[in-house]
Amino acid sequence: MPTPITWRCHGFDDFSPSRLYDVLALRDAVFVVEQQSIYGDVDGVDRDCLHLLGVDDAGALVAYARLIAPGDKYPDAAAIGRVVLEPACRGTGLGRALMAEAVAGCARHWPGAPMMLSAQADKQGFYQAFGFVPVSEPYDDGGIPHVTMRRG
């Protein structure tokens, strides 16, 4: 990774307006603009989940994921979603660090709960390295093939 990363995990009400803007801007830049996927990123889930942020030593947001409690998205499993990196940080190992923090965060907040995620189909190998296995056939999500994956 290019610089040391500080990880923070908190609820929606703990966002400063500026940091919330950073999160929404990063998600929009990657998921909507770069991937040309027209969908409603602001989906009503953010208020009820935990937000994992990776901030570099200059204070810039460089990594993000949201952690969703069991029962809120999947009946018996926690969920990891909106996994995203600042594009300039790709290929540095930060994605692996982000997923390790997300898995650890779910385990810490919801001990023993299985975990699920909706992976872009071409990223299955990345998530398999963290113990996730596909549990669905590929499906279209915002014009991008996805597959549901489960761990535990």
Total number of domains constituting the chain = 1
| Those residues with Cβ within 8 angstroms of residue 72's Cβ, 6 or more apart along the chain or in another chain | 45, 48, 49, 79
Q: 3-state DSSP call for residue 107?
A: helix
Query: What is the pLDDT at residue 2?
Result: 56
Lowest average pLDDT, out of 2-6, 106-110, 114-118, 137-141, goes to 2-6
Average pLDDT over residues 98-124: 97
On the question of pLDDT at 10 being above 70, the answer is yes
pLDDT in tens, 47-64: 999 999 999 999 999 999
Instruction: Say what the pTM is.
Output: 0.93
Q: What percent of the chain has pLDDT over 70?
A: 99
Tell me the pLDDT of the chain averaged across its residues: 94
**Residue 13 structural domain:** 5-151
143 vs 79: CA distance, rounded Å: 21
CATH number of the CATH domain containing 141: 3.40.630.30
